[in-house]
Structure 1
Amino acid sequence: MPNATGGQPPITGQVLFYKDPQPLSAENHGGLGVRQIAEPFAFLRAAHAVPVTVTEFGVAAASYPIIFVGDERTPVAVMGVRQGQNLFVDQNGYVFEDYYIPAFVRRYPFVFAADESSDRLLLCVDRAAPMVSNQPDVPFFENGQPSKFTTDAIEFCKEFERQRRATTDFAKIVASMDLFEQKTVTFQPRDPQGREVGPVQKVADYWAISEERLNALPAEKYVELRNNGALGACYAHLVSLLNWSKVVNRAVRTPPPGQAVS
């Protein structure tokens, strides 16, 4: 069961964004909460790829390429092509209007962590998050009990954990049917008149679902994908890859981190 008031077991591992995750407790965080800050998504600026769950593929596909990375074939939304640079967070610390914000981002500063002494999940908060304050607009606890804000956060993180597990299952199904293939996205530099300038540049190597292999599946396997709800996600992923040009073109117009606009 998720716990918001338990002890302090060790937190191990690292998760994107989180610098100092601590098990949330009334004893240690009773006076804390969250406050409005000037740049609410500034923490996202250095993330060029963000994990997404399988249930998000449909809506995320309208904004970003969704690719698979690592041995676990973890799906991520590509939000930049350079390490340390997100191309979809504006100078005011907001995600550009009409672009989807993944649940992985929206749950911050909360996250679940496994309690090593049991099979429970503990609700943690990133104590280093800029919106966590001892002068909060919304407290974590009221009269020693989790506030509605905190209980809502628990429910959000519980649902995210369910969807994360479903995403792991989805990747295993796709892998078991041998549908993954390695792909490369490239970019041809051009001058203002549209003429090719210099050699083609590689942007990224990644794993994707093969449309050819998907279409060649035996009928019973195709129906299996449909019946377990995976087929729609497969096609959403394939459609999302059309967004590579959007990301690459945005990268061309944006200098690398720390480099001034000429």
Structure 2
Amino acid sequence: MASAPNPTLPLLYNDLVPLNSNQHGDWKGRTTDKAPWIAKQHAIPLTVEEFPIAQRDFPIVFSVGDRPVPLALMGLNEGVNVFFNDDGSPIGQPYIPAYVRRYPFLLARLQPDSDNLSLCFDPQSELVGAFDEGERLFGEDLQPSTHTQNLLAFCEKFEEAGTRTQQFMDELKKHDLLMDGEISIQRRDAPDQPFTYRGFSMVNQDKLRELRGDQLRTWNQNGLLPLIFAHLFSLSLMSTIFAKQVDLGKGPVSANMVNGAAGQPASTPVVDGQ
């Protein structure tokens, strides 16, 4: 029986082990065209560099709480992902967030009081192990292979992107631009009973319009303003995701059936728990 996910670990990760030549000198990493670990995930973290391309496929929202992060919505309900089948195979050719492509590796601090980051992996991923096939993680001299060096470089770039993403979020919070999000979606078969989704944050457009011109000019010059617009434009995809859920049989069939109470409109958190 698989162990329950550790709530102290990042999303997707069940365990973390430092990669080292003593224990993993003959191990290999293998690739896969299926990602079952994402099939039931409806919200995946994004970096700001990904906004321009991710907003073509996903609504981009922000988590709630003291340290909000950008999220790509792959579904509007907990456990629903309209871009991946249950076996982890993609539906169509959606953009795959870097957070997903990084798995099962990441950089982590082994000592809380140290700034040094070590390349770690999730041993439960079945993508790293003493396999016959795959890319060697260490050479015969037990030095990191080219494959491992590329993995490390990718993880380092992800960390750098994460720093820039945090700076973007700090700017939004500094100017009090985030507000509680709420999206209502009407179905043709129940126009008087919209499904309302909450549990996320979004940019307050009224406050955005009130910002001084010099601040908007600065954000336009440093690239922050286009990121805000990418987020706002992407919200129109909420109804598209909802329609995909219905088409795949993964969404509510009728507003009359929500929560088992006839005549009650839906009220479902869209990113609750993230």
Task: Give the TM-score range, shorter chain.
Answer: 0.7 to 0.9
Cα shift readout 1:178-214 (whole Å, capped 9, x = no counterpart)? 21122211232333xxxx2662222333211122322
Contact 1:40–1:131 at 8 Å: present in 2 too? no
- What SS is found at the alignment partner of 2:243? helix
Give 1:12 deviation, angstroms: 9.7
- What SS is found at the alignment partner of 2:85? coil
Report which stretch shifted further, 92-101 or 132-141. 92-101
Give 1:19 deviation, angstroms: 1.2
Matches within 5 A, 1:214-225: 214-225=208-219
- What SS is found at the alignment partner of 2:197? strand
Amino acid at match of 2:106: V
Contact 1:95–1:101 at 8 Å: present in 2 too? no
1: CA distance, partners of 2:14 / 2:102? 15
2:139 to 142, 150, 161: 142
2: CA distance, partners of 1:12 / 1:207? 22
Matches within 5 A, 1:109-258: 109-116=104-111, 117-135=113-131, 136-143=133-140, 144-191=142-189, 196=190, 199-256=193-250
Question: For residues 197 and 173 of structure 1, do their structure 2 counterparts lie closer, same or farther at Cα, with a shift above 3 Å needed?
Answer: closer
Give 1:31 deviation, angstroms: 2.0
| Match in the other structure for 2:24 | 29
Contact 1:185–1:205 at 8 Å: present in 2 too? no
- What SS is found at the alignment partner of 2:106? strand
Contact 1:52–1:75 at 8 Å: present in 2 too? yes
1: CA distance, partners of 2:121 / 2:240? 34
| Match in the other structure for 1:78 | 73
Does 2:8 match 1:13? yes
Contact 1:81–1:204 at 8 Å: present in 2 too? no
Contact 1:45–1:89 at 8 Å: present in 2 too? yes
Cα shift readout 1:137-187 (whole Å, capped 9, x = no counterpart)? 111111201111110010000000001011111011011112112221123
| Match in the other structure for 1:95 | 90
Question: For residues 256 and 98 of structure 1, do their structure 2 counterparts lie closer, same or farther at Cα, with a shift above 3 Å needed?
Answer: closer
- What SS is found at the alignment partner of 1:141? coil
- What SS is found at the alignment partner of 2:96? coil
Q: Identify unmatched segments of 5+ residues in structure 2.
A: 1-5, 252-274
Give 1:215 deviation, angstroms: 2.4
Give 1:255 deviation, angstroms: 3.4
Contact 1:80–1:247 at 8 Å: present in 2 too? yes
Please report the RMSD computed on the Cα atoms of aligned residues, expressed in angstroms.
2.0
Amino acid at match of 1:83: E
How high is the sequence identity, in percent, across the aligned residues?
31
Give 1:219 deviation, angstroms: 0.9
Amino acid at match of 2:74: M
- For these two proteins, the number of residue pairs brought into alignment is 242
2: CA distance, partners of 1:158 / 1:241? 30
2: CA distance, partners of 1:167 / 1:43? 24
